[in-house]
A and B are shown apart, each in its own frame.
Chain A
């Protein structure tokens, strides 16, 4: 059958079938099972109203259960079993996980995923907040926002092509057609090159390190100081873990700073950016930051608009400057939204697949978990280890899942 006709028929049957199901099941319920007449009319109406919600929910619950809930448990089961040569499965306990932990590619993927987690949500949220604030009061702000928001509509694959053109490399004798190399060749090792390529990045790294230490201090402070609110042991553990992670990042930024200052840069040589180990991760991250900034901006812009005008006016009357207003009045008030944006982008980062798959396919030490899993499942056909990798992604998502459910329930009460 022609796929287009198949598609049209699916729409007609799918939509028509759904409507028919809802209509007929209601009719059947009201006229045959619990008819609203006779001696039990009142009780029947009540019973029918007890059943009706489930009629409305049934197709959706079926789909949700089959396509999202069941796979979680099935993947868990698969990750604990191995395929037998003749077909069928055998329970092997944690063997798949053991094998996973012994593979260097897995550790590389995990390291890169954490790198992505540290950089992409932070950068997207920060730039998004910056743009939201900048465009808040200018006349052409909505046009500017619309253009920065635009990459949201572009597929990860399309964006990969776009950025591959930017990172393109041609031999030194030819003219560069990738903008990054064209700019790179402008640097000749003079004073301006040193300032842009050493001093400015060094400042950024130092600032990042200081922010990490500061965050670690903020996390630990309530536990050290006396007279603070008592907290449960669970929150204390979370605080300590996060603080250690922040300190780890701070340490990383110190080593990064050293390697930056000691590196000799190959001026005048066109670079194949995507094959430079470690740094190529950042070139891939740029693609996701480019896409996600618009999302952060839209949400944060709405939050900034929602800030009560009186608080800002009161600050102005008290003599606060524009930067103080932004950091001390506005940012604290939209902190909740910032966390939401951050976690949402974190989820996207954990699932990132297309960009790595299309641009490097995990070569040159750019592997990430989702692509590693795809590799295991569909190239090596190792379903056990692949499922184990999927469970690792699920494990990383779980804290955010719990947090979201907790907040949603709190809000409904």
Chain B
């Protein structure tokens, strides 16, 4: 377009640069969380995460050797000599001091007067010389050293938050699920299913969910860190999400078929009602449904949450699927009818396989929505022993109790957003398609 109107290269450059800036601005917050989850608490507290790639200047506390063991008397002066870095690797010292009030009192190489006739000299490589006019005894002298610490990343946060070694298991499962997904893709293509890629993705994700689930039962993912246990919460979220994603699809698909391809009085009215229900705030449903659940004995357990998510997802499911099914070619259905197929057969043998893209779109929506939900879980899923706390709820609790411990918070939050991000990036096509079909026009 720009070329037709006479090349405006400066405008093209402006477009590229402003797009790049917007993308950086949008990605920056998430990257911060990601990077922070691999840093120790000390690192997070002493420097911004955007400096994580650079070496950071930190004050570390070291101790000289004990005078009882290492003191020598040279020309009437008592001297303790040695190197500060006995236990850890050597660092390049930028400044040192012996008081916590002024940890950077002297330059390396200079002689620092500690008072009471004592002096301290520290060289950049950690060699020190501690002198005194009187005899020294007791423990070694504390020395505060300012040094450049090279960037360092750790997986320890994930071990704390999920339990020892769980992250590694999850990665193994993910690899396994990818293999399973590819197998499903190949089989689906051989059979000739519409959308074999989507089948592969969904089977892969389900395989991952199942593996994690079974792992949670078998070895007890919950051996992690007591009340902060995100492993248990991860498991609870999965338990909520999987049935709450699958069940509404089945119920809605039949209804959508009836609304799309069967003629009966009141059809238009029903469709309009569903469009209306699309926007009813679920806040209205909380109290009546909670009372209903308590009255019929479902209580505040998983069953209640599955039913609630099924209900709240239903209008969107029916709306999306109906719109898609109504767009399928009429000929196929009429030919099948002429050949003597019943409605049930048409639905299961023709409509359902052809509607796969719409089913996938809704499945992603419902998955993301149930996985990320806080309100429904907080109202319908309460267990006094905290056995069923989902991840979003757990994180909110952590924000209260561990407000300052960013390494725990960031890791917990990243654990909870990792799965949706994978789903998002692998199935973006279906998500976009669903959004385009689902927004009421």
Q: A residues near B, CB below 8 A?
A: 2-7, 10-11, 14-15, 18-19, 22-23, 26, 30, 49-50, 52-54, 56-57, 59-61, 63-64, 66-72, 74-75, 78, 127, 130-131, 134-135, 137-138, 141, 144, 146-166, 168, 174-179, 182, 290, 293, 295, 298-299, 302, 312-313, 316, 321-322, 325, 336-337, 340-341, 344, 347, 350-351, 353-354, 357-358, 370, 373-374, 377-378, 383, 386-387, 390-391, 393-394, 397, 400-401, 404-405, 407-409, 411-412
Across chains A and B, the number of contacting residue pairs, with CB separation under 8 Å, is 350
B243, A7: Cβ atoms closer than 8 Å: yes
B213, A4: Cβ atoms closer than 8 Å: yes
- Show 30 A/B contacts (Cβ-Cβ < 8 Å), sorted by A: A14-B246, A14-B306, A18-B251, A18-B254, A22-B254, A57-B258, A60-B251, A60-B255, A60-B314, A63-B251, A74-B287, A144-B20, A144-B22, A148-B26, A150-B421, A153-B368, A158-B372, A158-B392, A161-B33, A165-B410, A179-B28, A295-B435, A325-B1, A351-B282, A357-B396, A358-B396, A374-B283, A397-B281, A404-B276, A404-B440
- Given the known A-B contacts A4-B214, A165-B32, are A148 and B48 also in contact in the complex, defined by CB atoms under 8 Å? no
B287, A386: Cβ atoms closer than 8 Å: yes
Contact segment of B82-90, B153-161, B234-242: B234-242
- Given the known A-B contacts A166-B29, A177-B45, are A158 and B413 also in contact in the complex, defined by CB atoms under 8 Å? yes
Q: Which of B295-327 contact A (CB under 8 A)?
A: 302-303, 306-308, 310-312, 314-315, 318
Q: Does B27 contact A (CB under 8 A)?
A: yes
What 10 A-B pairs have minimum CB-CB distances, sorted nearest first? A67-B311, A155-B372, A60-B255, A153-B424, A74-B288, A56-B258, A71-B285, A161-B413, A71-B288, A153-B420
CB distance from B311 to the nearest CB of A (A): 2
B436, A299: Cβ atoms closer than 8 Å: yes
When C-beta atoms are compared, the residue in chain B nearest to A369 turns out to be B283
CB distance from B175 to the nearest CB of A (A): 21
Q: B residues near A, CB below 8 A?
A: 1-2, 4-5, 8, 11, 15-16, 18-20, 22-23, 26-30, 32-33, 36, 44-50, 213-214, 216-217, 235-236, 239, 242-243, 246-247, 250-252, 254-255, 257-259, 262-264, 267-268, 270-272, 274-289, 292, 302-303, 306-308, 310-312, 314-315, 318, 342-344, 347, 368, 371-375, 378-379, 388, 392, 395-396, 399, 406, 409-410, 412-413, 416-417, 420-421, 423-425, 428, 431-432, 435-436, 439-441
- Given the known A-B contacts A7-B239, A59-B251, A134-B15, are A53 and B264 also in contact in the complex, defined by CB atoms under 8 Å? yes
When C-beta atoms are compared, the residue in chain A nearest to B217 turns out to be A4
Residues of A within 8 A of B18 (CB): 134
Query: B32's contact among A6, A23, A166, A322, by CB below 8 Å, is which?
Result: A166
Residues of B within 8 A of A397 (CB): 279-281
The CA-CA distance from A57 to B373 in the complex, in Å, is 27
The CA-CA distance from A374 to B379 in the complex, in Å, is 9
A316, B440: Cβ atoms closer than 8 Å: no
Residues of A within 8 A of B412 (CB): 161
9 more CB-based (< 8 A) A-B contacts, given A158-B33, A158-B392, A400-B279: A4-B239, A60-B252, A151-B26, A175-B47, A175-B48, A176-B48, A337-B441, A344-B440, A354-B375
